[in-house]
């Protein structure tokens, strides 16, 4: 629902290639231009797994760590992940 509300109508090429292997537990490496949907390509499988865990675990447990090479990219990634996680009871934190 959050992807629809965020304006994601159809997956971008990087997402079509990257998401299925991640959902199967594989590591990926992808290169694509700015604005191509890379953040969603790695964030959606992470969110999917976190949501699948449900609330059986402690709510304040770290379930994923995303490292970014610059502060700007970290801020942008967190903003995108917040949009994608809206309504899913998933919280983010940006550590600088």
Is residue 17's pLDDT more than 80? yes
Is residue 24's pLDDT more than 70? yes
Comparison of pLDDT for 25 and 8, the residue scoring more: 25
pLDDT at residue 78, as a whole number: 96
pLDDT tens, 37-79? 999 999 999 999 988 887 665 667 888 999 999 999 999 999 9
- Are 43 and 77 spatial neighbours (Cβ–Cβ below 8 Å)? yes
Residue whose token pair is 């090429």: 13
**Rounded to 5 degrees, what are φ and ψ at 28?**
-135, 165
Query: Would you list the domain boundaries of the chain?
Result: 13-85
pLDDT at residue 84, as a whole number: 92
Is residue 96's pLDDT more than 80? yes
- Are 83 and 89 spatial neighbours (Cβ–Cβ below 8 Å)? no
Cα–Cα distance measured from residue 31 to residue 56, given in angstroms and rounded to the nearest whole number: 36
List, in order, residues 6 or more apart from 53 with CB less than 8 Å away: 63
Judged by DSSP in three states, 6 sits in coil
């Amino acid at each position: 629902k959050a992807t629809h509300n965020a304006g994601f109508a159809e997956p971008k090429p990087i997402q079509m290639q990257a998401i299925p292997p991640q959902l199967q537990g594989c590591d990926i490496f992808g290169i694509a231009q700015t604005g191509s949907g890379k953040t969603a390509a790695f964030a959606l499988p992470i969110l999917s797994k976190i949501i699948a865990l449900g609330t059986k675990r402690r709510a304040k447990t770290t379930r994923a760590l995303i490292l970014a090479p610059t502060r700007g990219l970290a801020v942008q990634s967190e903003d995108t992940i917040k949009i994608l996680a809206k309504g899913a009871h998933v919280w983010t934190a940006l550590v600088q």
